[in-house]
Structure 1
Amino acid sequence: MPGLSPLRAFASLVAAAVLGGAVAVGAAALLGGFSSDTTIVTQTAASSSHQPVAAGGNMTIGDIYRRAAPGVVQITSTIRGAPSSFSGQFRSPPQQALGSGFVLDKAGHIVTNYHVVQGADAIKVSFSNQDTVTAKVVGNDPSTDLSVLRVQTPANALTPLPLGNSDRVEVGDEVVAIGNPFGLARTATAGIISAVQRNITSPNEFTIDHVLQTDAPINHGNSGGPLLDSGGQVIGVNTQIETGDSTGGTGNVGIGFAVPSNTVKNVAAQLLRTGKVDHAYLGILGQAITPDLAQTYKLPVGSGVLVAKVTRGSGAARAGLKAGHTQVVVAGETYVLGGDIIVALNRTRVSTIDQLRDAVAAHQSGDKVKLVIFRDAKRTSVRVTLGRQPTSPQG
């Protein structure tokens, strides 16, 4: 598969998505994770000032860096070596992974990517004054690739970074990424927002929606670091890069992806409250109807989501949703016809996979919702009790 990183690479683009399912973008690669040959580079301390980061206004790259860098941390995760298969007395060398993170509040909470700390036996957090402390995991959410850690550090030594509103981000907005690429502490790079509303695949293969795309150079070690707007607010958490390489290369090609700050707000709040995130789950594999498809096969509606597969044991299955059974090809894309067509969830019209995922995500597991569907060319509705998202799309 082209361009895959040795540090937990991601799958290539697929046509359909499980609702809470998985769509990847190109040869995307995580920006951190465990490797047997991690290089540690000696750090150079950034400014030791711990003044709060001011929000609003247009600042220079230097202004943003001086204010935000003290709130950016380097994270070193360690996995103990496995016992020898022969005697059990000897262990393989421990593995280390480098990543980034940023201070969320004065209580010592740190936001980073889940894949940076996944499976770690020990986690160390290094600050701009070169203090290094042990961190504990408050909670993980593999489905959004986010984790919240906590360190025991005096409040006056912490510089929280404010979370902005990622829904207001537009293509062309100037941004700054601060992180620790290849262990080079608190490196700043700048660029613009290249696109919004991207989808990427999480470590457990579900889809992360509303992702920001940037051309600010980010590389391995930037994972978990902040993407900041011109007002110094965090609008995203740098998570993946597109390698665009069929030879196994992992370098930056000007396409990076950041989990949006509004997702971070929601996930962090749940992790701080309960240590976990409850994602509602419908349990279908769906495909959006295109005009060509609707016209060619005289579908009863011009837009909606085809039910291509129903996950066994899911809310959709218990409600009796019917999957398609006839494969057709239109404009080079394969669709499955003959099943239900979803056109609305409660009062929210849906014509794309993203819209249906958003409608489901607005609820909690256990909620009862009404799906408006077309079945055998007739409009009807079914009541569905949403389930809890499983550990992976395969259950």
Structure 2
Amino acid sequence: MSMFASHARALVVLLALVALASGCSGPSTAAGPGPWREGVVTSVPPELARINDLLADLAERLQPGLVYVRVQRATPPRDEPAREEPGEPRRSTGSGFVIDSSGLIVTNAHVVESAGQIQVRLADGRRFPATVVGRDGRVDLALLKIEGASRLTVLPLGDSNKLRVGELVLALGNPFGLEQSVSFGIVSRKGAPLTVAAPGFDFIQTDAAINPGNSGGPLVNLSGEVVGVNSMAAVNGSIGFAIPSTLVKMLLPQLASKGRVDWGWLGVAIAEVTEDDLGRLKLREPKGVLVRSVMPGEPADKGGVRADDVILGIDGTRLESPRDLQRVVSSTPVGKKVRVVLLREGQETELEVTIGLYQEREAPPGEAPRRGPRPAEPPRETPPNEAPK
């Protein structure tokens, strides 16, 4: 474990030390004619001083890898109303970070959506035009490239699977255009985000402040590793979510080589198996994933999957919930034949299904599409408490 991580344990007593420090600082003494009292220089408790130095040194080391992304749009993003001046360019800002010395930068897809021109400003003030190498709106991830930049600070990607609830993290970004900002918090939860994003993948929830402009910035652990990409926050900013670094690593090769992510697809609406379903489906216990409906002509239909089948596993991977099925299917290569084990009227059956290509559908009339993480399917195909896949 690194020096940073080992020091993190000391933060358990942080509040007590702060109280001790303030209680031991002593009274101020007047100095000079000004209408204030000068503080008396006192020693800071060693544990508190080490924590203070740890966080300040870490932020100082990471900030050179943070970039400020400015976008000029000829048209507004899909979830924003058009302005009265249709010919006037629209500008927005976001964050990003360098992942390779060749000039590759990670940010959010919604930051560069409908971009006409993109400018990246480095921490030292240098500015470069950027191009979009790849973009995936389903996860809200984009890969940019700048040319001719030297002396770039690369931020390493860590393993978000090892991240634990309660661990300390820093969120870096440019909220409201305030450049090189750092906020501090903990990992509050690992699970589904507020909106449906990459199907089945756990996002990182944190109380580190994530505000407009933070989008695309890194969420970093105390070892200085990027464990997430800041993506969205609740309206009041009290809850933020980040794309886990393990998912980012999985998608970056496709974004770099193809400019997009090819997600796997079955074409079924699914739900959890409940106690109420046992008798009707001739099941002994609630397990697996219930198929509510099958979309005609889609891979599941072609493979013989029917409504009211209960899928137990795919290619040997056991499925406990709809999110398990979504995660396994979406991350399976398009065109691969998989073994689907299911229960049909209480009898176990095995089918071979060829994974299809997910294609983003248009939203129903009268419903505005949402930016960034969006529903995996149109809401009309998603009854309450069910998830399409």
How high is the TM-score relative to the length of structure 2? 0.74
Q: Call closer, same or farther: CA 1:182–1:208 in 2, change over 3 Å.
A: farther
**Number of residue pairs matched?**
308
* Superposed displacement of residue 97, structure 1: 1.3
Once residues 353 and 172 of structure 1 are traced to their aligned partners in structure 2, the CA distance between those partners, rounded to angstroms, is: 27
Tell me if the contact between 1:70 and 1:159 (Cα under 8 Å) persists in the aligned partners: yes
Q: What secondary structure does 2:325 align onto?
A: helix
In the alignment, does 2:144 pair up with 1:129? no
What are the equivalent positions in structure 2 for 1:60-79 lying under 5 Å apart?
A: 60-79=54-73
- Kept in 1, the 8 Å contact 2:314–2:341? The answer is yes
Partner of 1:286: 270
Is the counterpart of residue 57 in structure 1 residue 4 in structure 2? Answer: yes
- Give the whole-Å Cα distance in 1 for the aligned partners of 2:117 and 2:149: 21
Cα distance in 2 between the residues matched to 1:267 and 1:146: 9
Q: What is the distance in 2 between the residues matched to 1:381 and 1:208? A: 23
Which segment drifts farther, 162-171 or 304-313? 304-313
2:318 to 335, 342, 349: 349
Contact 1:199 1:208 in 2 (8 A): no
| Correspondent of 2:333 among 361, 364, 369 | 364
Q: In the alignment, what sits opposite 1:256?
A: 240
Correspondent of 1:316 among 300, 303, 308:
300
Give the aligned partner of residue 211 of structure 1. Answer: 203
What is the CA deviation profile of residues 118-166 of structure 1, one whole-angstrom value per residue up to 9, with x for unaligned ones?
A: 111111111111112110000111121100000013331x111000000
Trace 1:183-332 onto structure 2 (pairs within 5 A). Answer: 183-201=177-195, 207=199, 209-243=201-235, 251-252=236-237, 254-291=238-275, 293-294=277-278, 299-323=283-307
Gaps of 5+ in 1: 1-54, 83-89, 244-250, 324-338
Deviations 1:372-393 (A, max 9, x none): 1111221111110000111232
User: Which is worse superposed, 93-102 or 300-309?
Assistant: 300-309
| Percent of residue pairs bearing the same amino acid type | 37
Residue 201 of structure 1 contacts residue 207 of structure 1 at CA under 8 Å; is this kept in 2? no
Q: Tell whether 2:134 aligns with 1:139.
A: yes
- The residue type paired with residue 360 of structure 1 is V
Aligned amino acid, residue 359 of structure 1: V
In the other structure, the counterpart of 1:178 is 172
> Shift of residue 363 of structure 1?
1.9
2: CA distance, partners of 1:181 / 1:189 = 10
8 Å CA contact 1:241–1:256 kept in 2: the answer is: yes
What is aligned with 1:22? none
1:160 to 150, 154, 169: 154
**Does the CA contact (< 8 Å) of 1:178 and 1:186 recur in 2?**
yes
Does structure 2 conserve the Cα–Cα contact (< 8 Å) formed by 1:144 and 1:208? no
Return closer, same or farther for 1:200/1:367 CA change in 2, 3 Å cut-off.
farther
Contact 2:281 2:344 in 1 (8 A): no
Query: Are the aligned partners of 1:200 and 1:211 in contact in 2 as well (CA < 8 Å)?
Result: no
User: Counterpart amino acid of 1:130?
Assistant: G
Change (3 A) 1:305 1:208: closer
Partner Cα separation in structure 2 for residue 201 and residue 66 of structure 1: 33
**For 1:223-254, what per-residue CA distance to the aligned partner results, in whole angstroms no more than 9, with x for missing partners?**
000000011100000001122xxxxxxx31x2
- Residue number in structure 1 paired with 2:356: 387
User: For residues 134 and 230 of structure 1, what CA distance do their matches in structure 2 show?
Assistant: 32
Contact 1:212/1:258, CA 8 A, preserved across alignment: yes
Q: Secondary structure at the match of 2:179?
A: coil
Kept in 2, the 8 Å contact 1:209–1:354? The answer is yes
> Which of these residues, 93, 96, 101, is aligned with residue 96 of structure 2?
101
1:125, 1:132 within 8 Å by CA — same for their partners in 2? yes
Quick check: 233-242 or 269-278, which moved more? 269-278
Give 5+ residue unaligned stretches, structure 2: 8-53, 77-84, 362-376, 382-389
Which is bigger in relative contact order (C-alpha 8 A, separation at least 6)?
1
1:313–1:292 CA distance, 2 compared to 1 (3 A): closer
| Cα displacement (A) at 1:348 | 1.2
- Which amino acid is 1:231 matched to? S
Q: 1:115 aligns with which of 83, 87, 110?
A: 110
**Kept after mapping to 2: 8 A contact 1:279/1:388:** yes
Q: Is the 8 A contact 1:73 1:126 kept in 2?
A: yes
| RMSD between superposed Cα atoms in Å | 2.2
Moved more, 171-180 or 206-215: 206-215
Note if contact 1:111-1:149 (Cα within 8 Å) is conserved in structure 2.
Answer: yes
Question: Runs of 4+ in structure 1 displaced over 6 angstroms?
Answer: none
- What is the TM-score with the length of structure 1 in the denominator? 0.73
